[in-house]
Amino acid sequence: MSGKNEALFKSKMDSASLAKLTGLENDKLYDFLADAIALCEPAKVAVFDDSPADHDAIRQLAKDNREEASLVMDGHTIHFDSCNDLARDPGSTKYLLPPGMTLGKGLLAMGREEGLKEIRSYLAGCMKGRTMIVCFFCLGPTGSVFAIPCTQITDSGYVAHSETLLYRGGYEQFRKIGNSGEFFRFLHSAGRLGPDLTSIDTDKRRIYIDIAQDMVLSVNTQYAGNTVGLKKLALRLAIRKADRDGWLAEHMFTLGVNGPGGRKTYFCGAFPSACGKTSTAMLPGESIVGDDLAYFRVIDGKFRAANVEKGIFGIIQDVNPKNDPVIYKVLTTPGEVVFSNVLVKDGKPHWLGMGCELPAEGVNASGRWTKGKKDAAGREIPASDGNARYTISLHRLANVDAALNDPAGVVVGGIIYGGRDSDTWAPVQQSFSWRHGIVTMGASLESETTAATIGQQGVRKFNLMSNMDFVAIPLGKYIQNNLDFAAGLPKAPPIFGVNYFLRGADGNYLNGMLDKAVWVKWAELRVHGQVEAIKGPTGFLPKYADLKKLFGQVLGKDYTQAQYDEQFKIRVKENLAKLDRITKVYQDIADAPKAIFEELSTQRDRLLALQKAKGDYVLPEQL
């Protein structure tokens, strides 16, 4: 450590914090922290390690700063964000690019020097009179090939507390890397605070990703999606690191599915928002490794995945004892839970869709609230925000998988891509090959907006592998990395496409909410070659007899031939229209791999041949 840095640290830290910091012996860390102190001008700096005592101190700091308040139930706290700061802000989230670098169309970016000058002007002096918090975390299981050490600097006890729930402690991981410069860095400040201790200058909210330095800077925001650096902000950095090092960072859950004879098969799945991702990750009777992010590596010839996180930052709306009994139990029993932007009445949290009538008054992100209260624009303010959240550790869940922290990760048996689609995709199908699945399922993923009128087609939004908002390299390169990843494997995991939102002619859904359990069980059997399938133009389809048996075994329900025919008939016209939309998307992407156009063209030929022979709508038995 340089003498200059040592003198600065001694002037801001007590002896305990200084001892923790000097115990790491990392010059790049010291320089990062020294620059942050000089820039933000905190009154003091507190360094925290992985110990339970330090995590308790962080929880207490969040309360002492009045960023969180205790609720009636032991371990439960409530945090409110500003009404102008209740969600991720994609428009203010930008990549900072060195001269000559481009990420291609569709990714928000600006010049590095310009961006750093702007955000550093907002960070200058932002922590005067406050404590700067320095924490260490690890993305992926510690001590593993998946592990990426990270340091978070913030003035928010709420941010630090959230990260202790969501991520594995990284202090010891920093000890192991010694003086290496290989770690991610995050600097955050809530900025100026109002009387309610929420960020005032949200018009100056900035979340900038300095890809040249594996660093994220954010200011004038408190909402966790903008401030908890290790979540989607780190995903962007990880995608770039994976590109450099030859692995994949994906926006996917990891689920253990129980098969016959005590067998367990792990699936990873990518679903855009509101397409069934969490409900699939939390299927009754199965086990959850992770609900959101996964790193993929090939280890000893096997496709392996690890959950980047150890907790859940989840949307709380519609979590109720019927639909999400495991999560609901955690949210309604003693234990550590951070609620954000819900309604609080008499020290108890209430949220939309919790399965009971909500109070007509209380406190929420808008302050004192009564039913019918309107905002400045005359819009009625709901009791609980639609993006209200809960933060918990996965170990609280009864169905957490024993392999959550396994340094080797889990062997992936299959990949699932799911969208929201009213009229095209079958409820479940299997790709013909890894390439076919990556192109026609993952790289063709769409999410459909809810139609205003029953039967009216919603607006479809393209969302490449559900990672469109987070890809930090040119899109074509990202797709090519996925295509190449399974090359050389003795057996690539089969890829499945699912769709829980198919509608009939009357506008009603053709699938029940729990039918996804059957589709996943069928996929598990297909991984092991235990059921046959029908070859259709877009993939392998289940046979009726197998699904009828599974519906009885899994759900105790009858499943009719008429239901099967309506759900799994080939919708040729709609599939051709989808190919038109996806082809057009990739025609506008300069570096789109040739494999995309080849697979889409071949799929079109199969559909056209079927249309010529059988018509626009074809039952599986006609194939």
Q: For residue 187, what are the β-bridge partners? A: 153, 217
- Rounded Cα–Cα distance for residues 228 and 385 (Å): 19
- Rounded Cα–Cα distance for residues 568 and 558 (Å): 17
The active-site residue, picked from 135, 138, 268, 275, is 275
Please tell me whether residue 100 adopts helix, strand or coil conformation: coil
Beta strands 460-462 and 410-419: pairing type?
A: unpaired
Per the CB < 8 A criterion, the answer to whether 36 and 132 are in contact is yes
Dig out the tokens for 118 from the structure. 């702007």
Per the CB < 8 A criterion, the answer to whether 270 and 466 are in contact is yes
Q: For residue 45, what are the β-bridge partners? A: 132
Phi and psi at residue 597, to the nearest 5°: -70, -35
Phi and psi at residue 68, to the nearest 5°: -135, 150
Neighbours of 598 (CB within 10 A): 12
Burial of 488 (0-12, 13-18, 19+ CB in 10 A): exposed
Per the CB < 8 A criterion, the answer to whether 130 and 44 are in contact is no
Dig out the tokens for 298 from the structure. 């090939």
- Rounded Cα–Cα distance for residues 205 and 434 (Å): 41
Active site residue 268: no
Q: For residue 298, what are the β-bridge partners? A: 303
Name all contacts of 73-78 with Cβ < 8 Å and 24+ positions apart. 73/332, 73/333, 73/334, 73/348, 74/334, 74/335, 75/334, 75/335, 75/336, 75/337, 76/334, 76/336, 76/337, 76/339, 76/349, 77/337, 77/338, 77/339, 78/338, 78/339, 78/340, 78/342, 78/344, 78/349
Amino acid at the residue 230:
L
Dig out the tokens for 212 from the structure. 């040249």
Sign of CA pseudo-dihedral 349, 350, 352, 354: positive
Per the CB < 8 A criterion, the answer to whether 394 and 310 are in contact is yes
Dig out the tokens for 582 from the structure. 């996806």
Amino acid at the residue 270:
A
Beta strands 69-70 and 76-79: pairing type?
A: antiparallel
Helical H segments across 79-168, by residue range: 112-123, 157-166
- Rounded Cα–Cα distance for residues 298 and 316 (Å): 35
If you search the block for the tokens 């201790």, which residue do you land on? 197
Dig out the tokens for 235 from the structure. 């995903």
What DSSP element (H or E) covers 133?
strand 131-139
Sign of CA pseudo-dihedral 14, 17, 23, 25: negative
Catalytic residues: 275
